[in-house]
Structure formats: C-alpha cells, structure tokens
Amino acid sequence: MPLEQEASGLILAGFVFIIAATSISLWILWRRSGNKGLLWFLPQLVMLSVSMFFFMQLINNEVNIPSVMLSEENTLTVGMMCISWCLSMIFMVVGISGCINRKVI
C-alpha cells in the first residue's frame, strides 16, 4: 500500500509510545492493587503487537512480494492481523472480567 515516506515511522513510533504508556500504567496499577486480573492485559498487549507487526508488513510489502502474488499475500496478512487482534480482544475481556469485583448486592 503506497504511503508517504514518513508515515510508517510515525505509525510505529505512536504505537510503541502507546504500548509503553499502557505497560507502565498496568505495572503501576498491579503494584498498587495486586489484582491478578491485570496480568491478562500482558498477553493482550503482546497479541496487539503481533497485529501491529502484520499491519506494518501489510503497508510495506510492495517491494518484497512479486506483483502476481500481492493480493494473495495481502489477504493472508489481513487474515493473520485479524486473528491476532481477535485474540487480543479476548485477552482484554478476560482481564476486565478478572478485575471486576463480583460481589452480589
């Protein structure tokens, strides 16, 4: 996918910043509360990073893949990106469920 030259670097830098800020926030919250449900956000961030890897591969693959196979490669990459994003969301939901206090009122 053609983009401006600086776009890939800016996308990656923004993603790394967000992942770092989220990781630091989760670590602080976990140290304060000791809630084991917060640990489920670690695999969530890993799977989100895998999804970002596939996204970066998707936007930078024109020079690596022959044009005959480009649509097939893009389809596979989008599929892998969606699977890793889906797993990321599953880990996030499990983490949120683990963080909720289940007291009956």
Output the pLDDT for position 62: 64
14-26 tens-digit pLDDT = 999 999 999 999 9
Could you read off the pLDDT of 31-59 as tens digits, one per residue? 998 888 889 999 999 999 999 999 988 88
- Give the start-to-end residue ranges of the domains of the chain: 7-99
What value does the mean pLDDT take over residues 68-94? 90
Q: Could you give the residue ranges of the DSSP H alpha helices within 1-105?
A: 7-33, 41-59, 70-99
Q: What is the pLDDT of residue 105?
A: 45
Q: How far apart are CA 52 and CA 60, in angstroms?
A: 12
pTM: 0.81
pLDDT of residue 104: 44
